[in-house]
Amino acid sequence: MNNTNHLISSDNKGLAALMYEADINGKNVLPGKGRFVAAFAQANEGDVSPNTQGPHCLDTGLPCDFNHSTCNGRNEMCIAFGPGKDMFESTRIIATNQYKKAKELFDSATTKLTGPVDFRHTYTDMTKQSLEGGRTTCPGAMGYSFAAGTTDGPGAFNFEQSSTSPSPVWNFVSHLIKNPSAEQIKCHHPKPILLDTGEMDFPYAWEPAIVDTQLLRIGQLFLIAVPAEFTTMAGRRTRDAVAQSLMAHGFTDKPIPVIAGLSNDYADYVTTFEEYQVVSGSSPVEGANDHVQNVLF
């Protein structure tokens, strides 16, 4: 469902859950009242879209410019479309595909979870972490690509994704709100800063600085609860790092790490260093990298 939908909707994942529950509990059982409860959660979804036909120009029907998601230089005309004729049919198709695959996996599963239930929960100030090579993290900031939105819902004022050049006009406007320091500009390079949200606290903090992360254990399953939307590769690397750490600290069974995104807090998007350099603040699909605090790589 794109941002033109003004109805209350649980979108494709909610519909997939309803389909699964109706299958197990029966069609006459109200949602949430049966013996079986289905949940389709988000993992590392920061650079993905269910609109499988990809972004096309509303005026010409041609594919959008890949690097900037624009149509003749305008981002508002670039919209991603799903497998159906409209977003309602697309939602049904996408939900049905998820439901069928989940049921297939559920019915064919052979691995049982055995072992203790445990957790770890920590709070970290992500604005002042020391990294390898003498580097440090810095407060978050929103770049120009953030204002461009995504192909699932473009922004206004014709900002472009993957933008590396600031606008004197918008710099003047944004700096009236908060003028980023030279250190902040250097830290976020190559992303040009539009809003220095990490250093703005009136009337309240515009961007979280201290974020909480969790590791939840159910036997050999480990849920990595992170307060952001990780890209595909950022999630893969995080899962690998957790698995390696567990094995290094004596975990004998093969761990099953799973990213549980959007948990406990919201610190925007998290991408890898390589993605950040290539697109300088945004991915062609989700506008993902530009929200990142430049501290979570």
Active site residues: 49
Distance, CA of 97 to CA of 109 (rounded, Å) = 18
Q: What is the largest CA-CA distance in the chain?
A: 62
Here the tokens at position 142 are 């929103």
Is 269 annotated in some ligand binding site?
A: yes
Helix (H, G, I), strand (E, B) or coil at 72: coil
For the chain, the C-alpha Rg in angstroms (whole number) is: 21
Residue 274: phi and psi, rounded to 5, are -65, -45
Separation in Å, CA 277 to CA 139, 189, 244, 271, 282: 18, 9, 26, 10, 10
Is 76 annotated in some ligand binding site?
A: no
For the purposes of burial, counting CB atoms within 10 Å of the CB of 70, is it exposed (0-12), middle (13-18) or buried (19 or more)?
Answer: buried
- In the chain, the DSSP E strands lie at 54-57, 78-81, 117-125, 142-143, 149-150, 153-154, 193-195, 210-218, 221-225, 229-230, 256-260, 269-270
Q: Which residues are annotated as a binding site?
A: 229, 269
Which residues line the annotated binding site for Zn(2+)? 229, 269
